[in-house]
Each structure stands twice: as C-alpha cells, then as structure tokens.
Structure 1
Amino acid sequence: MPHIVIIGNGIAGITAARELRKGGDDQISVVSSETDHFFSRTALMYIYMGHMTYTHTKPYEDGFWTKNRIDLLRAHVTSVDFEQKQLTTDTGQTLRYDVLLLALGSQPNRPAALGVALRGVQGLYGMPDLEQLEALTAEGISRAVVVGGGLIGIELCEMLLSRQIPVSFLVREKSFWSSVLPAEESALVTRHIRDHHVDLHLETEVAELHDDGNGRVGAVSTTAGQRLDAQFVGVSVGVSANIGWLRGTSLETDRGILVDDYLRTNVPDVYALGDCVQHRTPPPGRKPVEQIWYTGRIMGETVAKTLLGQPTPYRPGVFFNSAKFFDIEYQTYGDVPARLPDDGTLASFYWAHPDGKKAFRVNYRTDTGAVTGMNALGIRQRQDVWTRWIEEKRPVSYVLEHLPQANFDPEFFRQYEGDIIAAYNAQHPGTAVRVKAKKGLFGLFA
C-alpha cells in the first residue's frame, strides 16, 4: 500500500488528506509541530478576543482522524532525503514515503530593524504566536506598537484594543493598504481606523527597538523621529514561504517551491501546495504566489484528484478575497488594482455612502463595458453571482441593472442599489440604467 506523507496540517495539507481518504485506501500520515489537530488559523484573533475557544476552531472532533485512518504525527521535520524518499524529525524518527506533499505554509517577515531578539516582538501567524501574546498580556502591557499596514496588522490592533491596550500603528504608506486598495477605499479605511482610537502613523517605519533593560522591548524609535513606549511590538510586514530549510537541496525554489500546473515539483513524487507554492505558470488572472486560505484548500483538492488517478490542473477561477476592518466588511472579486492602467483600457465607477462606512466600486473595460472586478465595503455581496458576471464578461450596464441579485445582506437590512444607480446615472447621463426588481421574501423591492 503506497504511503502518502503530508508535511503541514493547515488547510492545504488537511484538505488533501481528507480528499485522498474519501477516494482511496492509501496510508496517509500528516506531520506537524504546531498543534495536535487541524484548526482554523484565521480565527486566532477571535480566540484572543474571547469570541471563540480553540475547541471551537477545530472543524473535526479529535476522533475523526483515527476513524478515517489518517495518522497524525506531532513533530518537526528537520530534513528530507529526496533520493531515499525519507524524512527525519526533531525526535530522531525516520519516516519513509512513496509520495510527499509539502504543505509548509509561510512565516512572518522580519525586517532588519525588527530582527533583534527581544521578548515582546512577534508576528501573528500560528498558535504559538497566540500563546505567546496571551502570556505577554498576562504579564501586563501598558502600550503596544503594531508595525505594517496589512490585514494581520489591523487584526492585531483590534485584538489589543479589545484588552484596553492603547496601540500605535505604523504604516509606511500614505494611507492604509494603499498598495492594494484604490485611493478612495484606502482613505475610507484609514478614517475608520482612527475612529476606533488607533494612534495611526502614516509614512512611518521602525528605526530602532529599545531594550527595557530586562531583555524585553520597552520602546520604539520611528523614522519620523518619535520615540514610542511599547512593551509589545506586533510585526505585520507580510509573510514568505517557510522553505529556508529546503534551500540547497535538489528541490527547485525561488520565492516559493516551484510547481507546474499540477502542483508537481521538479522532484519525482513530490508535490507542493498552499502558502509555500510558487507557480511557474500562474493560472489566468492569478499571481505566482498567492498566500490565501481558500487557494490552499483548492490546491489540496487538486492534488488529491491527481493522486487518485484524475490528473487535474490547478484552476482557482476568478480571484476573490475578504477581510474585516473593525466593523467594516470588505470583499473583492476579479481585478481591482490600486491604480487604473495608464493605457485607458479600464474605467471605474465608485460610490460611497455619506456615513463613511459603506462603499462600492466596479471596474470595467472601456471598449466592451465588460466588468473586470469589484470592491464592496460594508455591503455583503454574493460570490457566485460576481464570479459568473466576471466570467461571462457582462457589461457594466447589465451588472448594475441586476445588482440586487448580488446582495447578501440579511433580511430587513437596507439595500443601497437605488443609491448606487442614482450616482452612476448622475456621472453617466448618456447611458442611464435602471435597477431590475428583486423578488424578496415579502414581495418585490429595488
């Protein structure tokens, strides 16, 4: 019986294990040093804030793995011998494989200024980070600094504020996440961050960390010349593939482990999936490296199909992502660059509610009107509807007329399609559109 070994028990590795068991009887082993069982890493902030417990984040009961004959090994893999098809763990155990799946995940980046070994300086990636933050909080933190303007950074700010810990947020850009969000959305979220009493410092980075005299961080000097007291410094300046220990082996790597359309590496019988992957030829509309929860899940499903005798290329479809900026939910579908291309091929329509907490953007081609992407802030949208419209290249007029079909807000929530259409028509009087009615639970509404 072939032995499939999976290194990593995140969403990519566990999805592969589950799908392989559903369709086959091969021996399956999952090796991970982080936790005994798979959990939802995206829920770490909610554990800290008291909304959930660790048990709540485990999708499967602990007996699930034995029942489904998936062997779990709590250990850290220190080396892999690709020629002999075996790996070695920190416990000295040797494990042979017939097929190896590398689902190694990623690790927080640590710029040089943050590279000093001081207690209280950390990222937020896995359970050990959460446990360390809990321990530091228990010791007492009077002030904190979060460095980096990404999604983890704003999560750390919200987490710390939930414990009444004042936090300064250092962002090197002119506004929050301006490398990803268009100017209007970035400005909206920037205002929202400040409304939640975050001490936001824009165009500012860390220059130096200061020891409190006991091996713990005590203050931060910034590139703007300020000195900020801090007993905790959260690092959120992106992540990189967790593959340093494999460099120098026969495995081909760059920013990640290089794979083909079927997630095969250059080494026979070795596949890679999840955050550690770099695609040699990215799927249409995607980037070579995409460290997103759902892409790991899709990769797990894809590899399992191939190993079960149905060779399947990785095709994640239309790009999407979502996040939460305090109490504003954010969704994006398709291609919504921070800045439109200079060649005039794309146009953009943007609407914002006067309350400053809701916004909507749709991008479309200037030659055909075909919608290419959208952003929504504070208004929930249906993924399946937007995916279909983008794939079918529906013109912006059609999309706006049928916009109620995409609304995913709960019943009795106010809908804003009429406001959005009115704003569009005011900007485009020669191509006015009218909202089609949507059948609701209690009748028709627009």
Structure 2
Amino acid sequence: MTKQKRIIIIGNGIAGVTAARHIRKNSDCKITVISGETDYFYSRTALMYVYMGHMEFEHTQPYENWFWEKNKIDLMKGWVTNVDFEKKSIKIEDKKSLAYDSLIIATGSVSNKFGWPGQDAIGVSGLYSKQDLEYITAQTQTTKRAVIVGGGLIGIELVEMLHSRGIEVTFLVRERSFWDIVLPKEESQMINQEILDQHIDLRLETELKKIKTDSNNQVTSVITSDGEEIECTFVGLTVGVSPNVNWLKGSGLELNRGVLVNEYLETNIPDVYAIGDCAEHRNPSLGRRPIEQVWYTGRMMGEVVASTITSDKTAYRPGIWFNSAKFFNIEYQTYGTVKPELESGESQFVWQSEDGKKLLRFVFETESMSVLGVNVFGIRMRHDVWDGWIANNRKINFVMKNLELANFDPEFYKAHEFSIREKFNQEFDEIAVENNRVSMIKRLFA
C-alpha cells in the first residue's frame, strides 16, 4: 500500500489556502494548514470595511466553515515555533511535533517598526492582521484625534477607516508628495488633493521622531521631525511591511529579506517551498521585483507550488505586472511598467478630466511605439484587455483606436474616449511639428 504523502502549509492566507485547494484538486495527499492568526481563511483586504461597518468579519471568509472538512483539509490553530528540516518535522507551541513530506512556508508579512521611542506603547498599531483590527477597534472607541505615519496604501486605508468614524486624523508622509516613490507627479498630486478634500490634515515631508506616553504607557502625543507636538491617543504605524521570516533565522533556510526561492519556488532545502509575501525570488522575471506583496501573486504562487508538488514541476511566471487600490473616492489600476519618471527611450501621453478626478497615463517605447504600461485613475479598465495589449506589443495608435474595448465602467457612466483621443492627436501633432519627427507621425497615423 502506497504511503499517503503528508503536506504541511504554514500560513492560511491567500497563498497557503490556494496551495491547499489546488493540491486537493490534484491529489489525495494529507494536507494540514496551520495558522496562529485565525481559525479560517479570510480576505485581508476587507479588514478596513469591517472597521467601517460595511460588513461583519464573518463576511470576509470566502468559504463556509464546512468546506475544509468536506475537502479533507485539516486546519490547525497555533503558532509554529520550530522546524527541524533534517527530521522533517515542525513544532507548534505546546503541541506535539508533526511530520511532513513536503513543507510550504506561507507566513506572509509583518508591519515594519524602526525603533521609534514609544512605538510599543498602548494605542500604537499597524494594520495587517485580524489581531490588528481587533486592537484598533478597541483602542479607538473614544479616540478624538489620531496620527497615521507612512504614506503608502495601508496608511491611506487606515486614514479612511478612522475618518469614517469622525476621528480627526493627521497623516505624516515623509515624501514630498503622497506615494511619489511609485506614482508620477500628476497622479501623486491628484491623491494629495483628494486627501485634503476629505479634510485630512496631510503633512508632507514630515516624519515621526517620538511617541510620547503617560505613566500608564498610553499614547498622549507625537513629536514630528519639525519639532511639533501633536496630541493624540492613537498612532498608526503604516511604514510598509516585511516578510515574516525572523522566526526562521538560524534554521538553515537561506534568507535575505525573505525566504529565498528559485523559479519553482523551491528553497535551498529539499521538499521545502516558500510562497506569497514571505518569498523572495533569487532571479525575478523581467520587470518584476524579488518580493511582491500583493494578493494575486500569492494566489498564483499557490497554484504553481501545488502543481509542482502533485504533478508537473512548474515555473512561476507572473506575466505582466498589475495592481489596484482605492484612495478614498478615486480608484486606481496600473498595468505594465509606469515609473515615477520616464526612462531613456520612453514617451508618454497623459489625459486628465476637467474635475481632476480622472487620469490616464500611457507609457510607450519612443521608436517602436509599443505600449509599456498605463496608470488608470477614476476609470475602470479591463485587466484581460490591457494584459493582452502589453504582452503583444500593441502600438499606442492601436490602443487609442480601440480604447473602448478596455473600458469596464458601467454603461451609464460618462465615457471619455473621444476626449482622450482628441487630446492625444492634438498633443502629438504639436510634438511632431516642433521636432520635425515626420517618421513618428507616419507610424502613429498610418
């Protein structure tokens, strides 16, 4: 009788759970998923809506509780304290050791802290886990003023959460403009204005120096890099996240910022894999980063590792980069490569609506005219269309002629394709005259 293969997955986020589901689809392996955070998988991006009262926490769970037993996926609550790679076993807190044949590490991220005085005081929190949500909910019951530190996506989520409860928020952003390490100037300034329009106290080029507390270690105020003291009873530290790998130091697993993996998501130890936020790719695909902490990459890695373990060894090929977010009332999507500033050999076209709430930036190769990427603000676009255009090197004139195909806004929304094309034609006619680039015009309008 063939021995049933034992697979242990540490972490029940999107990466770990996707791996479990696809391993079950492909095999009868014994699957155990371990998490100290929650009993069941939930959508991490929905935490803000629980706080804002739009849903209950149970509504963030995509699967009914009976799903796991029905699909013979064992769930175990607890924190893994030790992994013995030689004996192929793990230890969960005070529980007995569990043996494995294949181990998948999918432990996600942890919120960053940078040694600020007072950073561990009562009333200070990041926003990553269910425990963070519960803590923030409890700590802000009577909060009248809060300070959020860090100008990224998690930061603006937490700002919106607190603002929804009528809490006055000061937002400390160390950059010259919001998220300008990612966004070009116009997009960044658009979000600055949206934050100000929501009556948020936005402080650009301002950093946290110290969190002050009372005799009970409760937050009372913060000191900024300008020397200003801002009274508050809650501080949100949202200066990014890091792979949750410190617990693996000295274990023999090769680490850098995350767990180092090859294109098959294999670590340096046989039968041990790492996926999701905690994985760091030794040789990332062209145009991709070594660590990409977004929902869909975790899902893709879960599918890939499941295939490798149960059937065919499969390389991780994430394809064209995309991401999405929301800045209060402005939705954001990006496809392909759009950097804060153009690189050599690149051109761009930017369209913005009169009300300043919608913007599209198209980046393309100057010589070939092939589209490299697009930023979309305030208009919904179809992922599959843009993925195909960029992957197939469609030229900017083709994209302009067929822009309606990418529009995903409801039919009663105002369409902007005519205005976009009109500005594009006018702008590139002027450029052609100024630079006497007749060849470019022939390619554009042939």
Establish whether residue 357 from structure 1 lines up as the match of residue 360 from structure 2: no
Kept in 2, the 8 Å contact 1:260–1:280? The answer is yes
RMSD: 1.3
- Identify the match of residue 240 of structure 1 among 239, 242, 258: 242
Per the alignment, residue 216 of structure 1 pairs with 218
How many angstroms does 1:142 deviate by?
A: 1.3
Establish whether residue 186 from structure 1 lines up as the match of residue 188 from structure 2: yes
Moved more, 116-125 or 76-85: 116-125
Distance 1:355 1:335 in 2: 26
- Identify the match of residue 102 of structure 1 among 96, 102, 105: 105
Kept in 2, the 8 Å contact 1:381–1:409? The answer is yes
Residues 136-167 of structure 1 deviation map (CA, whole Å, 9 limit, x = unaligned): 122x1110000000000000000001110000
| Percentage of pairs with the same residue | 52
Per the alignment, residue 35 of structure 2 pairs with 32
Distance 1:33 1:152 in 2: 22
Establish whether residue 2 from structure 1 lines up as the match of residue 2 from structure 2: no
Q: Please list, as runs of the form range in 1=range in 2, the aligned pairs for 1:188-203 lying within 5 A after superposition.
A: 188-203=190-205
Distance 2:157 2:90 in 1: 36
How many angstroms does 1:433 deviate by?
A: 11
Establish whether residue 327 from structure 1 lines up as the match of residue 336 from structure 2: no
**Count of matched residue positions in the alignment of Structure 1 and Structure 2:** 432
Distance 1:69 1:114, change over 3 A: farther
- Identify the match of residue 151 of structure 2 among 138, 149, 152: 149
Distance 1:213 1:406 in 2: 58
Per the alignment, residue 428 of structure 1 pairs with 428
**2:354 maps to amino acid:** P
Residues 22-66 of structure 1 deviation map (CA, whole Å, 9 limit, x = unaligned): 111000000000000000001000000011111111010001000
Per the alignment, residue 136 of structure 1 pairs with 139
Per the alignment, residue 393 of structure 1 pairs with 393
Kept in 2, the 8 Å contact 1:400–1:433? The answer is no
Distance 2:443 2:128 in 1: 46
**1:79 maps to amino acid:** N
Matched position secondary structure for 2:306: helix
Per the alignment, residue 17 of structure 1 pairs with 20
Per the alignment, residue 84 of structure 1 pairs with 87
Distance 2:303 2:407 in 1: 29
**1:64 maps to amino acid:** F
Where does the alignment leave 5 or more consecutive residues of structure 1 unmatched?
436-446
Kept in 2, the 8 Å contact 1:160–1:167? The answer is yes
Per the alignment, residue 120 of structure 2 pairs with 117
Distance 2:87 2:118 in 1: 37
- Identify the match of residue 77 of structure 2 among 53, 74, 79: 74
Normalized against structure 1, the TM-score is what?
0.95
Kept in 1, the 8 Å contact 2:118–2:211? The answer is no
Per the alignment, residue 317 of structure 1 pairs with 319
Distance 2:7 2:399 in 1: 46
Distance 1:212 1:89, change over 3 A: same
Distance 1:380 1:154 in 2: 20
How many angstroms does 1:115 deviate by?
A: 5.8
Residues 395-416 of structure 1 deviation map (CA, whole Å, 9 limit, x = unaligned): 1111111101000000111110
Distance 1:91 1:405 in 2: 57
Distance 1:62 1:112, change over 3 A: same
Distance 1:432 1:379, change over 3 A: farther
Provide runs of 4+ in structure 1 moved above 2 Å: 114-117, 430-435
Matched position secondary structure for 1:112: coil
Residues 250-309 of structure 1 deviation map (CA, whole Å, 9 limit, x = unaligned): 100001100000000000100000000100110122111111111000000000011112
Per the alignment, residue 418 of structure 1 pairs with 418
Distance 2:331 2:274 in 1: 32
Per the alignment, residue 441 of structure 1 pairs with none
Where does the alignment leave 5 or more consecutive residues of structure 2 unmatched?
433-440
Residues 357-405 of structure 1 deviation map (CA, whole Å, 9 limit, x = unaligned): 1000000001100000000000000000000000011111111111010
Residues 315-366 of structure 1 deviation map (CA, whole Å, 9 limit, x = unaligned): 111000000000100000000001112x3x1011111111111000000001
- Identify the match of residue 49 of structure 1 among 48, 52, 66: 52
